[in-house]
Structure 1
Amino acid sequence: MRFIFVHGTGVRRERFDDLFRWIRGGLDERFPDADVVPCYWGDIFGSSLSAGGASIPGVATTRGADDPGETEAAEWVLLLTDPFCELRVLAALGSVDDGLGMPGVQSVGERVADSIRKVPRDLSSDSFDADELTVLLQDTNVIEGYSAALDALMDSDEFRDACVAAHDDFAAAELTTAASRAIVALLLSGAGESVVCTGDERDRMVDLLSSRIGGTARGPVLRASGVLVKLGLRWAPQSVLDRKRGEFTSAGASAVGDILRYQARGGPLRDHLAELIGQSPEPPVVIGHSLGGIALVDALALAAVRQQPLSVRLLVTVGSQAPFLHELGALAGLPPGATLPPGFPRWLNIYDRRDVLSYLAGPVFPGDPRVSDHEVHSRQPFPISHSAYWKLGAVYDRIGEALQ
């Protein structure tokens, strides 16, 4: 009995040899006379960075940590992650209260808090003019969170602690600027992907909020920023992000690139599979993992639609996205919503619900007796679960049952 194994996305020779060794061992154990044929396509039909990654920003050149833009970005990485981080540092850096405050006299921290408390919350009110800040909040798609951001600031322990620690006019100015930056950070982080905001717009929002609270535009250079920017630069400087982006993109080029290349130019791989199946001395069992399963479904469906069906004893897809792509109307071999054509072989689809790249075929082709799903349990999280099938005896047992 002949088996043909077709690997999935991102697999290259060394990885394929490891996988094939496990698959051949599992099949040999249950089918002693098995002729297991490898179909390795990664080098010929897989993707590669033809220009050596020249399209990836920051790979060829990187900027140093003395770049002002990098320093500013490091500050806002921290603020977007933790909008109150500067206020927390200000509270820690604040001078100790000497207890000599005048009875009945409002402290500088209380004065800042009172100013923020009096800032109008409802910018949509007809009685409130659409000033520059209102227009800016609208243009950046963050205006809906404005009132909630002000309230969140006032309710935070970090702001209250920073108010207590402020005992002079300079500290009050620092507090005003830090509070304004915290509000803007809350707005930007809360709006998520709907935000459309440049660095200039972000800084202008901080200036306008500071002025509205009672401070001066731009405000002083915060002591808190000096502390936090060192942490930010260690955490995510642009030079590090550029390097990591290059490493990540290059390493992931084959995994994602194989999928994209197949979707755009999958014909040669499908033709190769059809030729390999056609050369088999007997109808083979074809086993496709991940993208390999997609290519097999496409090749078999296209041949059947052309009324030149490929002679296959059983199609086995493992951890495959073919059913999901058909739901999307993205399979090359089947029009959106189409049923499997006459001449398409029996199809065993094996999945593990912990593998987020595996999908059910039966519900997508309801009532078709040729299609069956079988669940296995690797007890591994994703992405390990996506490759763990080949060490599960249940996979080979189920293939054996389908062939009886």
Structure 2
Amino acid sequence: MTSVVFVHGTGVREDSYRKSYNRVARGLKRLRPDIRLVPCYWGDPYGAHLAFDGACFPEQDQDRALPIADADDPLAVWALLERDPVAELELLADSAGEDDDGGFAPGRTDPWDALADRLRTLTEADLAEGGPTASDSARVFAAELAPYVTEAAEEIAAEVSMRLSRTAPGHDSEAVAARAVIALATRLAEAAQDEEEPLPVDGADRDMLVALLTDWLGGTDRGIKEAGKWVGARLLGDPFLWTVSPAVQAGRRRMTRGILPESGDILRYQGRGAELRARIADVVALTREQDDGPVVLLAHSLGGIASFDLLAMEPSHGVDLLITVGSQAPFLYEIDALTGLRRGDELPTAFPRWLNVYDRRDLLGFVAERIFPGRVTDARVDLRQPFPRAHTGYFAHDSFYERIGAELP
């Protein structure tokens, strides 16, 4: 009798595995009633768990209800500016009304145009020293931004004129412009240096340079109160900005628990993968003892990586066919991150026949034929699902069983 050992992927725990196991059993029995399906569940003993109930989380982390955005929290505004230096100007333009203070009387200068004109006169020397009270770190930061401040100021001036001319002036318009200039100059400095990591910035130094430019532009209000009114809407629409939300910060423990099984299992395998590989080897050996027929490893996602590693390191385990489903093994080989096989090394001669099943919409499924020519067959299925369901839906797909059924010994 042919035995199929079913190895699940990351994040799966007992109830979920039981459902998947039953689904696979039905799918295989429909085509091959002679198949014996063997469970290889590893989620609880070898998956990731918070063994000390999250004792590693900072004490200030509180799972309590908080607003999505705090109008007095400058980090929310700076998170917007990190993504788009003109974000505040866009928000002001979206909410601005027409200037009711005299309209466009001859000889009257539009306040926003006047601000744009002042910005166009900003030079490197105006920022180079960082101000008389600047700390050593602030002077270093100012020196890093100074070569780019003129270009940044000219671009922000153009944005001010284009977006806000003929609208009512804001009471903190100089501070808004100063923040935009510093944010854009930081981005320009990072692009010019072509560093792999962002420019290290102390928030106090950044705020000091904003205050310096605000004073230079003639402003007095350096707050963010007006900007805070619009931050909540942006946070709801941009997942990148959720990390600065007070609600997310307070719910860090709960959020981590939610993503831990998937991401934690991967991390744990990198450090303790031998345990999972030993579990698979033991199940295969026991299956061989119970029946001397062919043994197939049917392994999904992380289970496929562990199965591949096992067979690459010890190909004599008596597996006749490896079927990986939604596998990252080819990708990990290409970046030289596999445990069982270094990039450039050939698969062992005794490595079993290998079928690699993928869906092109599965962002975690990779093809293997071009990586291991002549040693693997790629089999594409079409689940007609977007990611992430394209990664989790293989075992609900009838054509999947038809495809693998043709390969089973």
Do the two structures share a fold, i.e. TM-score over 0.5?
A: yes
Q: Which residue of 1 aligns with 2:194?
A: none
One of 282, 285, 299 as aligned partner of 1:288 = 299
- In structure 2, runs of 5+ residues without a counterpart are 132-137, 192-196, 236-241
- In structure 1, runs of 5+ residues without a counterpart are none
SS at match of 2:314: helix
Q: Is 1:271 aligned to residue 268 of structure 2?
A: no
SS at match of 1:24: helix
Q: Which residue of 2 aligns with 1:149?
A: 152
Q: Is 1:203 aligned to residue 207 of structure 2?
A: yes
One of 383, 398, 406 as aligned partner of 1:401 = 406
Q: Which residue of 2 aligns with 1:13?
A: 14
Contact 1:177 1:220 in 2 (8 A): yes
Structure 1-normalised TM-score?
0.82
One of 178, 181, 192 as aligned partner of 2:179 = 181
Q: Is 1:229 aligned to residue 213 of structure 2?
A: no
One of 290, 294, 300 as aligned partner of 2:311 = 300
Contact 2:122 2:150 in 1 (8 A): no
Q: In structure 2, how many angstroms separate the alpha carbons of the residues matched to 1:99 and 1:230?
A: 27
> Residues 17 and 100 from structure 1, CA distance in 2 versus in 1: closer, same or farther, beyond 3 angstroms?
closer
How far does residue 105 in structure 1 lie from its aligned partner after superposition?
5.3
Q: In structure 2, how many angstroms separate the alpha carbons of the residues matched to 1:22 and 1:184?
A: 57
Letter in 1 for 2:10: T
Contact 1:287 1:315 in 2 (8 A): yes
Q: Is 1:391 aligned to residue 388 of structure 2?
A: no
One of 377, 383, 389 as aligned partner of 1:372 = 377
> Residues 148 and 29 from structure 1, CA distance in 2 versus in 1: closer, same or farther, beyond 3 angstroms?
farther
> Residues 202 and 351 from structure 1, CA distance in 2 versus in 1: closer, same or farther, beyond 3 angstroms?
same
SS at match of 1:364: coil
Q: Is 1:47 aligned to residue 45 of structure 2?
A: no
Contact 2:120 2:150 in 1 (8 A): no
> Residues 189 and 12 from structure 1, CA distance in 2 versus in 1: closer, same or farther, beyond 3 angstroms?
farther
Q: In structure 2, how many angstroms separate the alpha carbons of the residues matched to 1:243 and 1:341?
A: 50
Q: Is 1:322 aligned to residue 329 of structure 2?
A: yes
- In the alignment of these two chains, the number of paired residues is 379
Q: Which residue of 2 aligns with 1:248?
A: 255
Q: Which residue of 2 aligns with 1:311?
A: 318
Letter in 1 for 2:154: D
> Residues 359 and 233 from structure 1, CA distance in 2 versus in 1: closer, same or farther, beyond 3 angstroms?
closer
SS at match of 1:83: helix
One of 340, 345, 351 as aligned partner of 2:352 = 345
Letter in 1 for 2:260: A
Letter in 2 for 1:7: H
Contact 1:7 1:288 in 2 (8 A): yes
Q: In structure 2, how many angstroms separate the alpha carbons of the residues matched to 1:181 and 1:159?
A: 18
Q: In structure 1, how many angstroms separate the alpha carbons of the residues matched to 2:75 and 2:368?
A: 46
Structure 2-normalised TM-score?
0.81
SS at match of 2:324: strand
Percent of counterpart pairs with the same letter? Answer: 35
Q: In structure 1, how many angstroms separate the alpha carbons of the residues matched to 2:314 and 2:354?
A: 15
